[in-house]
Copies of this chain bind each other. A is one copy, B any other.
Amino acid sequence: MELFKGGVTAPQGFLASGVHADIKGKGGTKKDVAVLFSKVPCAAAGVYTTNKVQAAPVVLTRARTDRGELQAVVINSGNANACTGEQGLKDAALMAEWTAKALGLEPEAVGVASTGVIGVTLPMDRMKAGIAKAAVAVSPEGGQDAAEAIMTTDLVDKQCAVSLDLGGATVTLGAMAKGSGMIHPNMATMLAFVTTDAAVEPTALAVALKEATARSFNMITVDGDTSTNDMLVVLANGMAKNPPVVLGSALYDKFAAALEAVLIHLAKEVARDGEGATKLLEMRVKGAPTVDDARKAAKAVCGSALVKAALFGEDANWGRVLCALGYSGAGFDPAKVDLWLGDLLMMKAGAPVAFSEEAAAVILKEKTVVFTADLHSGTAEATAWGCDLTYDYVKINGSYRT
């Protein structure tokens, strides 16, 4: 199962577009409204931010994926429509209505997602024009435009696709995501959309999504801030005509594995492109008493400001890794821990080991740096991803709004 270059229009029957609607009101040409549309109704599932403050589009779209069906999604960047009160809910509903009308759908068949500044109501005049433009522009080649339209401070668009055989039919999954800041587990503090022409029963889709999210987007962190707008939506339109994927079947396992591969790829890309980031940090924890312990431990290291700053400085400060494991809440005995930087052993049974500073320097210069901790307290394992903390993170976030 090889991932290939492609996005949300890689599977059969999906059209998309991305246009410039000047949502920020600052001119320019950046695409900021995207429409994603399936020729036929889709089974749909979503996972959403656990922040108590939920943006209007999250409230609206969650209610719609809870019913297990969608046929289109409209997405804007430049304004999160969060902390916008009653007006925000009305505006999100209008976005769905306008999109539905232009595509000949019922409003309930349209999901809505937004990302950008918090606490400012949407410019609904420009939004209306933008949606009209985007809805007529949807095409089977529009995945790239859509992926660009959902970006905020992302430096690169994030897309991937994969094809596999499901019961004799070739099915394809395509996906796009945006990340950058406010990236922290629960859930992944970003927007992501996965399309597939596989036929998947809605409950199976929801379970597969939840499990794959736990091992992908919920294992990344950029800055520890859980956004008000996180959303990950999967649409399955069944046009590949495979025997429907149901829970507990061999086809389910195959489909779930493909979905997980897609989500892990995107999640790593989001971490690597974290605001200001120059490196991807991968923290592998093994020998944990439970998967929950392993996840907590791995995420704490990726979330540590001190580990992240040391990574930026290419400083083999492994004591900070152990310190973060220590406050993670994971159950283990510090006196048993072994720790590696790449394949270089730095700590054995909780005590320092002499290592080559030169070898460490070579490993730390790489674009991806892997730490591995064996807690020797069980058999569970988990991997988390993060990025370094850089001057540019501070610069970007010191003046985001103004």
Q: Is the CB of A398 within 8 A of B309?
A: yes
Q: Is the CB of A82 within 8 A of B319?
A: yes
A residues sitting closer than 8 Å to B (CB atoms) are: 50-54, 80, 82-87, 117-121, 181-182, 184, 186, 223-228, 303-306, 309-310, 312-313, 315-320, 322-327, 330, 332, 334-335, 347, 349-352, 389-391, 393-402
Q: How far is the CA of A357 from the CA of B177 in the complex (A)?
A: 33
Nearest-neighbour CB distance to chain B for A352, whole angstroms, equals 5
Contact of A306 among B223, B304, B349, B389 (CB under 8 A): B223
Could you jot down 17 A-B contacts, CB within 8 Å?
Answer: A54-B334, A82-B323, A83-B323, A83-B352, A85-B350, A85-B352, A184-B327, A223-B305, A224-B224, A225-B324, A226-B326, A309-B394, A310-B398, A312-B394, A313-B402, A316-B401, A394-B394
Q: Is the CB of B315 within 8 A of A398?
A: yes
Contact of A397 among B181, B226, B310, B322 (CB under 8 A): B310
List of B residues within 8 angstroms of A305 by Cβ: 223-225, 305, 393, 397
Given contacts A391-B391, A394-B390, A400-B310, contact A85 B351 (CB under 8 A): yes
Nearest-neighbour CB distance to chain B for A58, whole angstroms, equals 11
Q: How far is the CA of A389 from the CA of B223 in the complex (A)?
A: 12
Q: Taking the full assembly, how many copies of this chain does it contain?
A: 2
Given contacts A118-B320, A120-B352, contact A224 B53 (CB under 8 A): no
Given contacts A119-B318, A304-B224, contact A323 B393 (CB under 8 A): no
Nearest-neighbour CB distance to chain B for A222, whole angstroms, equals 9
Q: Is the CB of B397 within 8 A of A313?
A: yes
Q: How far is the CA of A229 from the CA of B240 in the complex (A)?
A: 59
Which single residue of chain B is at the shortest CB-CB distance from A82? Answer: B319
Which single residue of chain B is at the shortest CB-CB distance from A85? Answer: B351
Which single residue of chain B is at the shortest CB-CB distance from A351? Answer: B85
Contact of A347 among B83, B310, B335, B393 (CB under 8 A): B83
Q: Is the CB of A335 within 8 A of B398?
A: no
> Which 10 pairs show the lowest CB-CB distances between chains A and B?
A118-B319, A313-B398, A53-B326, A85-B351, A309-B397, A119-B319, A223-B305, A226-B327, A51-B326, A52-B326
Extra contacts, 8 of them, besides A224-B303, A228-B326, A390-B394 (Cβ < 8 A), are A53-B326, A83-B352, A118-B322, A182-B323, A223-B305, A224-B224, A224-B305, A226-B323
Which single residue of chain B is at the shortest CB-CB distance from A353? Answer: B119
Nearest-neighbour CB distance to chain B for A21, whole angstroms, equals 21
Which single residue of chain B is at the shortest CB-CB distance from A53? Answer: B326
Q: How far is the CA of A327 from the CA of B401 in the complex (A)?
A: 21
Q: Is the CB of A317 within 8 A of B401?
A: yes
Contact of A327 among B225, B317, B323 (CB under 8 A): B225
List of B residues within 8 angstroms of A50 by Cβ: 327
List of B residues within 8 angstroms of A80 by Cβ: 319
Q: How far is the CA of A315 from the CA of B402 in the complex (A)?
A: 7
Which of A83, A325, A332 has the most chain B CB within a 10 Å cutoff? Answer: A83
Q: Is the CB of B351 within 8 A of A86?
A: yes
Q: How far is the CA of A228 from the CA of B54 in the complex (A)?
A: 36
Q: How far is the CA of A154 from the CA of B398 in the complex (A)?
A: 23
Given contacts A319-B118, A351-B84, contact A325 B53 (CB under 8 A): yes
List of B residues within 8 angstroms of A351 by Cβ: 83-87
Contact of A352 among B84, B322, B325, B393 (CB under 8 A): B84
List of B residues within 8 angstroms of A310 by Cβ: 397-398, 400-401
